[in-house]
């Protein structure tokens, strides 16, 4: 069997948060948080793991990802083949 004939599994097309952070830092010089990455992934309809670090109060405010960082994260997701 030729390896080129094998389909890429969904696990192989997913980048870790660390890989996304490294890519954004190298390509754009921006540091992004896991929170920002998960916000962008949700906007794209991608699966996001459960958050175990929840706020203690229900009315706690979360910062929203700045547009510049959102664009950089989107580019990283495209680079890793997670969105097109």
The Cα 70–Cα 51 span in angstroms is: 20
User: What is the mean pLDDT of the segment spanning 53-76?
Assistant: 89
CA 25 → CA 7, 17, 38, 43, 57, distances in Å?
30, 12, 17, 21, 32
User: What is the mean pLDDT of the segment spanning 14-26?
Assistant: 96
Report the percentage of the chain scoring pLDDT > 70.
85
More confident residue, 14 or 33: 33
Domain encompassing residue 77: 14-48+63-84
> Which pLDDT value is given to residue 13?
62
Considering the domain boundaries, does residue 33 fall inside one? yes
Contact 72, 33 (CB under 8 A): no
User: What is the mean pLDDT of the segment spanning 42-71?
Assistant: 86
Considering the domain boundaries, does residue 9 fall inside one? no
| Number of domains into which the chain is organized | 1
Considering the domain boundaries, does residue 28 fall inside one? yes
């Amino acid at each position: 069997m030729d390896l080129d004939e094998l389909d890429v599994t969904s696990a192989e097309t997913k980048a870790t948060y660390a890989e996304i952070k490294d890519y954004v830092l190298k390509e754009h010089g921006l540091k992004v948080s896991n929170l920002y990455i998960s916000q962008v992934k949700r906007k794209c309809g991608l699966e996001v793991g459960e958050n175990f670090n929840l706020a203690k109060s229900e009315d706690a405010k979360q910062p929203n990802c700045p547009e510049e960082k959102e664009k950089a994260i989107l580019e990283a997701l495209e680079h890793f083949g997670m969105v097109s």
